[in-house]
């Protein structure tokens, strides 16, 4: 099962390496990990996407909670949640391919940034699933570079992850 | 009061009531060493290798329950200390390690003796800090001691750049710690206690399995009361020995890989396992698939992460084990009329049958010293009252099996990490804490050479430890595994070119003895322990072929123990 775990972390140097070190030391999967400061500058919010059965996820949460820098955490996949990932893809599209590309971009509510006459950057935010769909829709194009931000998210019920 | 960072470090240690700091100086720590020189509130003990400093602090901590304190320099100072920090981490021992670091502007430039101490220690500390400002030192020391000693204890490292120890600021030692991300441990719910006791009252094949957590929580009195009230059998882990008296009829001895037949069989056949401050590690459970197939698991631990980690708990209580035992005892007193001893009568008779096998039996010899015999005589000569440290290997198991402990904090060994070299420096730490007590280091000729340099520290500080070297000229446990699992291919398990340990001890200024006849064992021990003010290194030449039995080989279950062959019926 895929789980999205949101973590409030003390904004201390080394806090990120404690979390990533924990995952590698204990052999847990990380599908993606994002981190940035919150509106409270002393706290960072980290979003970890991981895969495991119930027991593995239980251990991951307990081990994360044991880290002194972890202030609070929540598995947002348990409740309703909103997840977003930003994708940027630099593609080659000649004049004959451009109309199709524009149709796809419109269909996904994405944006198209022109780099040159034959190169474009597609920009979109959405769930990882949606990002995968977009990439599938352009698989006829040559992708020169692809940057995905990894997932960030919030629960969509009234629970609030706070300290 | 305006003080330098170095003085603040030392004053903060004084505020924490630290008596001894075990350490070794070097460039990045020199301002702190200078501060030590200016005062005599906190005594610095100079070891001969930083690993020795950590083990000595660890031995001090294990024998007192107080945090051990270490001071080392940057680079090789801290890397040498890592083994001892990891040893403390694996056994949840409270420890605070201060390490010097290169000057802050030089960090990241591969300066002389620079290593990322916070990074290299991260997997083996409970927490660590890199000090960024002189103003942070006092509060960080306060936090470090708080984290090291509360909840599930463990080592905490503070890395301090040299330039910061020279800067000056106002010294105010904080009265309390406020850490939103480090909450107080949880406490038990009354309903958990009631349902746990209900399970106990209905059990037909119960066993109490207590571990190092009971020692750390200083809950031996509560444990004994609890076991007596229920009339249940009790087994201790390697780390939990002493919590229940070795000679009490309800004690089944140690369990696990080299535990007793009765303890392991009782675990396997139990219908209720009451796990107290223990973590079901692989040396305890054997193969997880075959572990206690019919048992309901009641698991009490202060660390939520050990619950359901290896073995799924049916009832889990996350709280201090001493508080939980007190609550159990209160509830048991309330339910006294519901206690039914006849429910476990058949269970006890089954246990007595298993016990009748006498699984620690070994064949005594008139010609060659059996290592078990030395440990048994050690118990007799010290009246079972000594603090016993050990290294790691066969001798460690013989000490655990045969010394017979009646108190916690007296059996000091590296159970989790299994660190050879631990015994002698740990004994030093014990001796500093208990000047008048007998302190024996049970070791082997392999392990003792891993920290033998500490014999010089023992000389400098007059530490009259008794070193019991069970010298079989083999890395005995390695040899045993090679005999059992590698068709007797003894690859690199033979200790060739051993030193003359008697001469070596004398060279360090101590007394050396060599004993090679069983008839001389007791006399030699009495002679050695009568030398109250001398370290005596006793080199016992023991049986080369002796093995530790019983044994649950890896991949096997509790009911598949390998027993000593050749025992008469």
DSSP annotation of B20 reads E
Pair of tokens at residue A155: 């629960």
Distances (CA, A) of B174 to B137, B142, B287, B381: 11, 7, 49, 48
Kindly report, residue by residue over A137-154, the tens digit of the pLDDT.
998 999 999 999 999 999
The mean of the pLDDT values for chain B is: 97
Chain segment A83-137, per-residue pLDDT in tens: 999 999 999 999 999 999 999 999 999 999 999 999 999 999 999 999 999 999 9
- Residue of chain A whose Cα is closest to the Cα of B151: A66
The C-alpha R_g of chain B, in whole angstroms, comes to 24
Name which of A7, A12, A14, A69 to mutate to probe chain B: the one with the most chain B Cβ atoms within 10 A of its Cβ.
A14
Q: From residue B112, how far is each of B26, B99, B109, B529 by CA, in Å? A: 12, 15, 9, 47
Mean pLDDT, rounded, for B464-469: 98
B328 catalytically annotated: no
Distance CA B316, CA B320 (A): 12
Query: What tokens appear for B464 in the block?
Result: 């009259």
Q: For position A93, what pLDDT does the model report?
A: 95
CB interface of A with B, residues 65-84, below 8 Å: 65-66, 68-71
Q: Helix, strand, coil: what percent of chain B each, to 5? A: 45, 15, 40
Interior/surface letters A56-66, b for 16+ CB within 10 angstroms, e for the rest: bbbbbbbbbbb
Task: Name the active-site residue from B14, B39, B112, B517.
Answer: B112
Q: What are the pLDDT digits (tens) for B54-86?
A: 999 999 999 999 999 999 999 999 999 999 999
What is the predicted pLDDT for the residue at B249? 98
Q: What is the pLDDT of residue B93?
A: 98
Residue B360, C-beta contacts closer than 8 angstroms, at least 6 positions apart: B253, B260, B372, B401, B402, B549
Say which CATH topology domain A2-75 has: Alpha-Beta Plaits (3.30.70)
Would the CB atoms of B181 and A68 count as touching at under 8 Å? yes
**Tens-digit pLDDT profile for residues B25-49:** 999 999 999 999 999 999 999 999 9
On the question of a common fold for A2-75 and A82-152, the answer reads: yes
The DSSP element (H or E) to which B37 belongs, if any, is helix B30-37
Write down the domain spans for chain A: 2-75, 82-152
B350 vs A32: CA distance, rounded Å: 54
Summarize pLDDT for B129-145 with one digit per residue, the tens: 999 999 999 999 999 99
Q: What is the pLDDT of residues B501-531, one digit of tens each?
A: 999 999 999 999 999 999 999 999 999 999 9
Q: B442, B388 in Cβ contact below 8 A? A: yes
Of the pLDDT bands very low, low, confident and very high (cuts 50, 70, 90), residue B389 is very high
Interface of B with A in 94-133 (CB under 8 A): 118-119, 122-123, 126-128, 130, 132
Determine which helix (DSSP H) or strand (DSSP E) holds B230, and give its type and residue range: helix B220-230
Q: What percent of chain B has pLDDT over 90?
A: 97
- Distance, CA of B370 to CA of B471 (rounded, Å): 10
Q: Do residue B130 and residue A66 have CB atoms under 8 angstroms apart?
A: no
B113 labelled catalytic: yes
To the nearest whole Å, the CA of B179 is away from the closest chain A CA by 9
Q: Find out whether B513 and B538 touch, Cβ atoms under 8 Å.
A: yes
- In percent, the amount of chain B with pLDDT more than 70 equals 100
First to last CA, chain A: 27
The predicted model gives B423-434 an average pLDDT of: 98
- Domains of chain B and CATH, by start: 2-170 (3.40.50.970), 190-355 (3.40.50.1220), 371-552 (3.40.50.970)
Of A10, A13, A25, the CB nearest to B123: A25
- Residue B1's pLDDT band, with cuts at 50, 70 and 90, is confident
Q: Which pLDDT score is estimated for B523?
A: 98
Q: What chain A residue is nearest to B309 in terms of C-alpha separation?
A: A59
Confidence of residue B326 (pLDDT cuts 50, 70, 90): very high
Other CB atoms within 10 Å distance of the CB of residue A85: 23
> Residue A31's pLDDT is what?
95
Q: Determine whether B112 is an active site residue.
A: yes
CATH ID of A82-152, from 3.30.1110.20, 3.30.70.1150, 1.20.120.720, 3.30.420.40: 3.30.70.1150
Interface contact B303-A66, CB threshold 8 A:
yes
């Amino acid at each position: 099962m895929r789980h999205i775990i949101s973590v409030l972390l003390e904004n201390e140097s080394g806090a990120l390496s404690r979390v990533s070190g924990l995952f590698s030391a204990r052999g847990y999967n990380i599908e993606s990990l994002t981190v940035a400061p919150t509106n409270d500058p002393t706290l960072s919010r980290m979003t970890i996407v991981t895969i495991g059965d119930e027991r593995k996820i239980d251990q991951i949460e307990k081990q994360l909670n044991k880290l002194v820098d972890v202030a609070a955490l929540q598995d947002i996949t348990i409740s309703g949640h909103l997840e977003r990932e930003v994708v940027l893809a630099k593609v080659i599209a000649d004049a004959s391919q451009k109309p199709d590309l524009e149709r796809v971009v419109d269909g996904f509510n994405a944006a198209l940034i022109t780099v040159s006459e034959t190169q474009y950057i597609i920009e979109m935010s959405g769930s990882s699933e949606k990002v995968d769909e977009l990439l599938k829709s352009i698989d006829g194009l040559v992708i020169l570079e692809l940057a995905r931000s990894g997932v960030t998210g919030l629960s969509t019920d009234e629970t609030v992850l706070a300290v | 009061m305006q003080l330098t960072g170095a003085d603040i470090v030392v004053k903060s240690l004084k505020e924490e009531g630290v008596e001894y700091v075990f350490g070794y100086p070097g460039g990045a720590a020199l301002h702190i060493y200078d501060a030590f020189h200016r005062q005599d509130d906190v005594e610095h003990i100079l070891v001969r290798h930083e690993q020795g400093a950590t083990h000595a602090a660890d031995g001090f901590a294990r024998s007192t329950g107080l945090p051990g304190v270490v001071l080392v320099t940057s680079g090789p100072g801290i890397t040498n200390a890592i083994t001892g920090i990891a040893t403390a981490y694996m056994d949840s021992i409270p420890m605070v390690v201060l390490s010097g670091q290169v000057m802050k502007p030089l960090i990241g430039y591969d300066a002389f003796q620079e290593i990322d101490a916070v990074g290299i220690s991260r997997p083996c500390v409970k927490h660590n800090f890199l000090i960024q400002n002189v103003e942070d030192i006092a509060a960080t020391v306060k936090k470090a001691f708080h984290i090291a000693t509360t909840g599930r204890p463990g080592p905490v490292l503070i890395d301090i750049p040299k330039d910061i120890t020279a800067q000056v600021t106002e010294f105010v030692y904080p009265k309390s710690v406020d850490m939103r991300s480090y909450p107080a441990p949880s406490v038990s719910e009354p309903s958990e206690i009631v349902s746990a006791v209900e399970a106990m009252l209905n059990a037909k094949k119960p066993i109490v399995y207590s571990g190092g957590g009971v020692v750390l929580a200083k809950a031996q009195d509560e444990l004994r009361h609890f076991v007596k009230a229920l009339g249940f059998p009790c087994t201790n882990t390697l780390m939990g020995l002493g919590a229940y008296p070795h000679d009490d009829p309800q004690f089944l001895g140690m369990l696990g890989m080299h535990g007793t037949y009765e303890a392991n069989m009782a675990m396997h056949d139990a219908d209720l396992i009451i796990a107290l401050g223990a973590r079901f590690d692989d040396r305890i459970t054997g193969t997880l698939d075959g572990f206690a197939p019919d048992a309901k698991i009641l698991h009490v631990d202060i660390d939520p992460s050990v619950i359901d980690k290896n073995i799924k708990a049916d009832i889990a209580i996350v709280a201090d084990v001493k508080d939980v035992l007190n609550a159990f005892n209160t509830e048991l007193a309330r339910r006294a009329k519901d206690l039914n001893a006849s429910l476990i009568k058949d269970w006890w008779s089954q246990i007595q049958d298993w016990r009748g096998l006498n699984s620690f039996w070994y064949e005594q010899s008139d010609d060659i010293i059996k290592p078990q015999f030395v440990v048994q005589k050690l118990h007799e000569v010290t009246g079972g009252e000594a603090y016993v440290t050990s290294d790691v290997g066969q001798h460690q198991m013989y000490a655990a099996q045969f010394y017979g402990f009646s108190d916690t904090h007296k059996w000091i060994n590296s159970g989790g990490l299994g660190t050879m070299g631990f015994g002698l420096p740990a004994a030093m730490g014990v001796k500093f804490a208990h000047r008048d007590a007998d302190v024996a280091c049970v070791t082997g000729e392999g392990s003792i050479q891993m920290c033998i340099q500490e014999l010089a520290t023992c000389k400098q500080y007059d530490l009259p430890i008794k070193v019991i070297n069970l010298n079989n000229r083999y890395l005995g446990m390695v040899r045993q595994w090679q005999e059992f699992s590698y068709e007797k291919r003894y690859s690199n398990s033979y200790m060739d070119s051993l030193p003359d340990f008697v001469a070596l001890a004398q060279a360090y200024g101590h007394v050396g003895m060599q004993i090679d006849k069983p008839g001389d064992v007791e006399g030699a021990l009495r002679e050695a322990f009568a030398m109250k003010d001398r370290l005596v290194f006793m080199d016992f030449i023991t049986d080369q072929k002796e093995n530790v039995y019983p044994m649950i080989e890896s991949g096997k279950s509790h009911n598949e123990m390998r027993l000593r062959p050749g025992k008469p019926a």
